[in-house]
Amino acid sequence: MTPQTTVPIRPPVAETIAQAGAALKSGFLVGLPTETVYGLAGDATSDRAVAAIFAAKGRPSFNPLIIHLADAAEAAAYAVVSPLAARLMAAFWPGPLTLVLPRRPAGGISLLASAGLDTVALRCPAHPVARAVIRAAGRPLAAPSANPSGKLSPTSARDVADSFPADALALVIDGGTAPVGVESTIVGLFAAGATMLRPGGLPRAAIEAIAGPLRAAGDDAQAPQSPGRLLSHYAPGLPVRLDAATVAPDEALLAFGPALEGAKATLNLSAAGDLAEAAANLFAMLRQLDGSGARAIAVMPVPGDGLGEAIRDRLARAAAPRGVG
């Protein structure tokens, strides 16, 4: 029998979902689509499966994982759900919002998945394939972005398959291109009120309409309270230069709006200046420019309102000094 040389990509049909559920029950990892980016899923109640996620990603063990649920009603089994948390779930779940809540010690979530913290990060994804796989597995799934730690998040099944050796995942389910394109917004509910831990696919204003003004996170980027808060994160191999007003002939350009001229290669997040289009294109275009043969990637300014806050956050982490975290 010829050894498998690449991670298999399967269509999102009932047979594949059943196969994925069986693999997850047996402790294997699966690449699955969500509306934000593709996730590297494993059984969140299994220390061995969670450890396999960390090993596959090369992820620091102090960086917690997001636990994905099929339905908001499941959250109370794993966390203390405050009235504010319940209101946010009712408004935005399923969807690109992760809530960091006090964990229930008897809930069964692996302590490794929460990096030993007394909180747990929960989300209910909007992608129907993701929820179908969670139901098929019959357990919550730890599912960080399906990329090596610190590298670009994947927005297609091919991105996932190309990022890991053949024996790292049982399969990847092809759910098409992730429509949101950046990870979920993470909000911490540690005491009265709410804290913005990571901007993402749900704009701040929508959350603040329910939760009131969000406090700024004050944790240590080297030992974060939530996923996605390492300083150097989402990084391509090439150096990234932000807020570029000019571009050199040996640089690749990630444009927004009318593009600068003279770059070795140019991709435009949104020629029309549409932030939703830019968010959906961000990681795929960074990935393409990373392979352009340029010396560095110059990024034109992106406004910080709405989804721009999440885009600027990812770009700042991509441009941070390497080796941090």
Q: Mutual orientation of helices 128-137 and 14-25 as an angle, nearest 10°?
A: 50
Contacting residues for 282 by C-beta, under 8 A, at least 6 apart: 181, 182, 269, 311, 314, 315
pTM of the model: 0.81
Q: Amino acid identity of 151? A: K
**What's the confidence (pLDDT) of residue 227?**
62
What residues contact residue 267 under an 8 Å CB cut-off, 6+ apart? 252, 253, 254, 255, 281, 285, 288, 289
Cβ–Cβ contacts within 10 Å for residue 205, how many? 11
Residue 317 is assigned to a ligand binding site: no
268 is in an annotated binding site: no
Domain boundaries, the chain: 9-216, 240-319
Is 290:297 a contact under the CB 8 Å cutoff?
yes
Q: How confident is the model over 191-205, as pLDDT tens digits?
A: 767 999 999 999 999
The whole-chain average pLDDT of the chain stands at: 90
CA angle at 312 for the pair 247 and 163, rounded to the nearest 5°: 85
Query: What pLDDT score was predicted for residue 325?
Result: 40
Residue 119 labelled as part of a binding site: yes
Return the sign of the alpha-carbon dihedral for residues 208, 211, 215, 219. negative
Distance CA 187, CA 99 (A): 5
Query: What's the first-to-final CA gap in the chain, in angstroms?
Result: 41
pLDDT for 83-117, tens place per residue?
Answer: 999 999 999 999 999 999 999 989 999 988 887 78
Is 127 assigned to a binding site? no
- Residue 295, CA atoms < 13 Å, CB-side half-sphere: 6
Per-residue pLDDT at 224 exceeds 80: no
314 is in an annotated binding site: no
Query: What is the bridge-based pairing of β-strands 265-268 and 97-102?
Result: unpaired
Question: Do you find a cis peptide bond into 94, omega within 30 degrees of 0?
Answer: yes
Average pLDDT estimate for 153-161? 94
Average pLDDT over residues 168-175: 97
Judge whether 38 is annotated as a binding position.
no
Q: Give, in words, the CATH class of 240-319.
A: alpha beta
Tell me if domain 9-216 and domain 240-319 are identical in fold: no
Architecture of domain 9-216: Alpha-Beta Complex (3.90)
Residue pair 56/41 in contact (Cβ under 8 Å)? The answer is no
Tell which wins on pLDDT, 11 or 4.
11
| Integer Cα distance of 267 and 285 in angstroms | 7
Over residues 125-140, mean pLDDT: 98
Q: Is 36 annotated as a binding residue?
A: yes
C-alpha–C-alpha distance, residues 78 and 89, integer Å: 14
Would you state the pLDDT for residue 287? Answer: 85
184 is in an annotated binding site: yes
d(CA 221, CA 228): 9
Q: Tokens 């090596």 label which residue?
A: 148
| Contact (Cβ atoms closer than 8 angstroms) between residue 290 and residue 192 | no
pLDDT confidence band for 55 (50 / 70 / 90): confident
Task: Say if residue 74's pLDDT is above 60.
Answer: yes
Tell me the C-alpha to C-alpha distance, in Å, between residue 293 and each of 140, 250, 251: 41, 9, 9
In contact, 155 and 38? CB cutoff 8 Å: yes
* 295 labeled part of a ligand binding site: no
DSSP state of 153: P
Is position 46 annotated in a ligand binding site?
Answer: no
Q: Answer yes or no: is 234 a known binding residue.
A: yes
Instruction: Provide DSSP, 117-149.
Output: -SEEEEE--S-HHHHHHHHHHTS-EE--BSSST
pLDDT tier for residue 310 given thresholds of 50, 70 and 90: confident
Q: Which of 127, 102, 129 is nearest to 114 (CA)?
A: 102
Residue 246 marked ligand-binding: no
pLDDT for 250 equals 98
Give the mean model confidence (pLDDT) for residues 247-263.
Answer: 98
